[in-house]
Each structure stands twice: as structure tokens, then as C-alpha cells.
Structure 1
Amino acid sequence: MAKTIPAAIAAIALSLSALCISQESLEAGEERGDTFAERFAEAELVAQVQIAGVHRDVDSALSEPGMVALLGYVYSAVSHQVWKGEANRLIAFRLGLDACEQKLEKGARYLIFARPDSRGRLQLYSCDAVIPEAEAAPLLARLKEFDLQG
């Protein structure tokens, strides 16, 4: 009997911890929802794209012979669906290493939230502004709902 009580206590503790984790997940989801709404509102372009080309964005002033100062990458992409912004089939956008150290893969598909920089070029300002397609299903579903409503 002594072994069953600790086992029951352990099961209750496990259930409570799972409940706490579920609540935290829900709260995080709500926060992400707010973040999603903010990202959508701030973006000039919200689109699902496939990366066609990856080009280095080099800082010539800081580069020296044999050493290149890389600011980030400029991506050329084919848009598959545009929810906000001009529906151009081919787009180009920048992602600086100061904003996100993640390098996007050629051929991969992403959901992007882009805004213009001071020169009017499309830019992603954080890693949250680019979501790999495999992780974007909940956001894509929300965008499709929005598309049907609007």
C-alpha cells in the first residue's frame, strides 16, 4: 500500500505539471496571436514565398582584401500567395545578420512579414518575420480565414 500512495502522488503531480504546461502553451499562443496581429499590421508585405536565389549583402567599407564583411543576405523569391501588399510574382527582400542569424535555404518555402527600410527596399526585421512552411501551418490557417472573411 505504501508503494501505491507515492505512485498516486506521482501521477497527480504529473497531471498537474501537464496542466500547467498546457496553460502556459495557451498563454504563449495568445501572446503569439497578439504578435501575429502586430506583425501583420506593421508589414507592408505578407506572403508565402519560395526562395529562388540567395545573395550576400556585403559591406564594402568594412571589407578588406581576403576578408568580406557580411551584413546579411538579399533573397529573390517567387510569391505563391500574397495576403498584404503588391502581388508581384517575383520579389526581393533583405535579412540582416543583426536582425537574424538564420540563413534561408534556396528552394525552401517561407511565410514572410516584410517592411521597407529607409531606402524603400523590403526588409525582414527579425527572425519572427520569417517562418518556415513546416512551422507556419497555424498562421497560414489564420491568414486563409482572414482571406475568406475579407
Structure 2
Amino acid sequence: MDNNGSGRRLSARAIFLGLAMLIAPLFAAAQVENGDTLAERFAEAELVAQVQINAIHRDVDNALSEPGMVAISGYVYSATSMRVWKGKADGLIAFRLGFESCDKKLEKGARYLIFASPDSKGRLQLRGCDAVMEESEAAPLLARLKQFQQQG
């Protein structure tokens, strides 16, 4: 390893790639409409976490709003991270799910597996309906992720 720590980065990258390869068979079975696999979503996301929704806020689009009319472009969710498999989340997180990519509204108190990435302003967002799975739908995947996490 050299003085700039690149050996550590390579090691962390190798661990991530190893985890991605281990879970790829599980994800590969689930195809989404545009041909992406869950393994690709995992690899592309900056944050993969199991969360519980604490609060739901309207994402107001001030540019489209008029006097007496408020334009809503989606929802911003405040959530508690229950488990994190990729990325960093210190307990409480906020993420956006815009109507331009998904018209689904998540439920307060419910638990979800999310695949989030930053938007152009650096805020976490879900890029579509396929970036969120209800806990009941994600149960086999969550069990497999927990197993890999315990194995270290």
C-alpha cells in the first residue's frame, strides 16, 4: 500500500464487488420493465437501506405554483434507517420521490428497501418506482442481505 491509502480503497472496492457478485444471482431473477436487474440497481445506487417512513412532506414546485394554487412535484420522505447495506445513513434520512418518475405514495409507518442516489443538487432521491420495495415484497432479498452482512 502506498502513502495515499489507495490500497484501502482498492480493498473496499474489492469487498463491494465481492458482495455484488454474491447477491447478483438473487437479484438476477427479478427483472424490471426496462431490463434492469436488481443487481444493477444495487450497483448504481449510492444508498441501499431498509427504512421506516416517519413523515411525508409535499415537494412544492414554486416555479409552477400560482397564487391560490400550489403545484406539487412529488413527496419528500423523512425516514429512520433500520439497516444500511451500501452508503452512509446516520439514523434519520430524507429522500425524494418525484411524480416525474413514479406516482406511488409511500405510507407513513411502513418499511421499505430503497435504492437512492443523489440528484443534481446532492439530495437523495429514488429514480423510479423500481427503486423502492415494500418490506413484504423484499423479504427474501432482505434475508439474503442480512446473511451476507453477518458473514462479514
Q: Distance in 1 between matches of 2:94 and 2:82?
A: 14
The Cα offsets for residues 95-144 of structure 1, whole Å up to 9 and x where unpaired, read as 00111100011111100000001111001001010101111112212312
Give the drift of 1:57: 0.5
The Cα offsets for residues 51-101 of structure 1, whole Å up to 9 and x where unpaired, read as 011000011111112222111011000011011111310000000011110
Match of 2:146 in 1: 144
Bigger Rg over Cα = 1
Residue 115 of structure 1 pairs with residue 117 of structure 2:
yes
Which runs of 5 or more residues in structure 2 are unaligned? Answer: 1-27
Closer, same or farther in 2 for the Cα pair 1:30/1:102, shift >3 Å?
Answer: closer
Q: Distance in 2 between matches of 1:31 and 1:55?
A: 31
Which runs of 5 or more residues in structure 1 are unaligned? Answer: 1-27
Residue 50 of structure 1 pairs with residue 55 of structure 2:
no
Match of 1:87 in 2: 89
Give the drift of 1:30: 5.3
Shift >3 Å, 4+ stretches: none
- Number of aligned residues: 122
Closer, same or farther in 2 for the Cα pair 1:149/1:47, shift >3 Å?
Answer: same
Give the drift of 1:29: 2.4
Could you state the TM-score of these two structures normalised by the residue count of structure 2?
A: 0.74
Match of 1:17 in 2: none
**What is the identity, as a one-letter code, of the residue corresponding to 1:129?**
A
CA RMSD of aligned residues (A): 1.7
